[in-house]
Amino acid sequence: MKKLLTCLLLFAFAKAVTAQQDPQYSQYAYNPIVVNPAYAGNRGVASIVGLHRSQWVGLDGAPRTQTLSFHTPISNSRVGLGLSIVNDEIGPSDETYVAADFSYTIPVGDEARLSFGLKGGVHVLNVDFTRLNIFNTGDPRLTENVENKLSPTVGLGLYYHTQKFYLGLSSPNLLQTDHFDDRNDSSSATYIARERMHIFGTAGYVFDVSDDIKFKPATMIKLVQGAPLQVDLTASFIFNEKLTIGAAYRWSAAVTGLVGFQLSDQILIGFAYDRETTELGNAVFNDGSYELFLRFELFNSYDRIITPRFF
């Protein structure tokens, strides 16, 4: 089985890959700045979020993703600034995205705000072919590793929100980049990876079930050429503004359980577990996917009391 999986990974990275999915997240509602720069500063306080995801645990070469983001509003202005770092590993490849985020927010009603965002940064690609069991050891495309292949990234975003509703539309990278093998001649069209533009749509609402219970449905839709449309549907209950329990469904892909706890006014911790609904979920070597995140925010107690935010 391991040889088969290695062969599949080798095929994915050594042949003409037509599309490449960005990392996916089950707890997307807690860290939207990674995909939407317009979210920068929209929590009204300085916010730091760290997230780790291990996908398809037990599968050799399965994806592992780490993100670290920081964003804050600029005092006495409509500007928000942020910084996002994403590291994504799958098989022999390691990709790192570093981007700066800028947002500008305008009021469009008594409580409603509309933000425009710009993201700019760099993408670094590494591929270590020594991590594979190569069947054709004479293949010249696999004799030298890909090291620190750089490409620029430019993204745009829109984010509309009230105290109970949000709606976002974004593309974190508008540029298509082909990472070609430098050794190719004019007769070859082989490349290591091709990045496609991803479009993300997000939405959510907070309903007051009672004084102590809130219900928060949310969704994220991801569209990229050459890959199936991805739709995530999430439903969570928030108890006493402390404990969050929810479930999610990734269309034709996975079901997820989520839990979060507000340890203090500044610290929120969360955990998610995915189980595939495809044939991959029944494989004995697949123990599901795990995701852990931690959010730390800087604000005074007065701000926390008068402006609680649930997204």
Distance CA 81, CA 101 (A): 6
Asked if 287 and 267 count as a contact pair (C-beta separation under 8 A), the reply is no
pLDDT at 296 over 90: yes
Q: What's the pLDDT at 301?
A: 53
Asked if 30 and 262 count as a contact pair (C-beta separation under 8 A), the reply is no
Name the amino acid, one letter, at 189.
Answer: A
C-alpha of 269 from chain center: 17
Residue, of 128 and 98, whose pLDDT is higher: 98
Structure tokens at 272: 């998610």
Each domain of the chain, given as residue ranges in start order, spans 24-178+195-298
Quickly state the pLDDT bin for 276 (edges 50, 70, 90).
confident
C-alpha of 19 from chain center: 17
Quickly state the pLDDT bin for 298 (edges 50, 70, 90).
confident
Per-residue pLDDT of 193-252, as tens digits, reads: 667 789 999 999 999 999 999 999 999 999 987 788 899 999 999 999 999 999 999 998
Q: What's the pLDDT at 122?
A: 95
Give the SS3 label for residue 57: coil
Geometric angle at alpha carbon 90, from 201 and 251, rounded to 5°: 35
Residue, of 94 and 139, whose pLDDT is higher: 94
The CATH class for the domain spanning 24-178+195-298 reads mainly beta
Span 303-307, average pLDDT? 53
Q: What's the pLDDT at 295?
A: 96
Asked if 287 and 297 count as a contact pair (C-beta separation under 8 A), the reply is no
Asked if 26 and 272 count as a contact pair (C-beta separation under 8 A), the reply is yes
Q: What's the pLDDT at 10?
A: 40
Distance CA 6, CA 19 (A): 19
Per-residue pLDDT of 158-207, as tens digits, reads: 999 999 999 999 999 998 776 655 554 544 545 556 677 899 999 999 99
Structure tokens at 81: 């600034």
Cα 119 to Cα 15, 138, 154, 201: the distances in Å are 30, 42, 6, 16
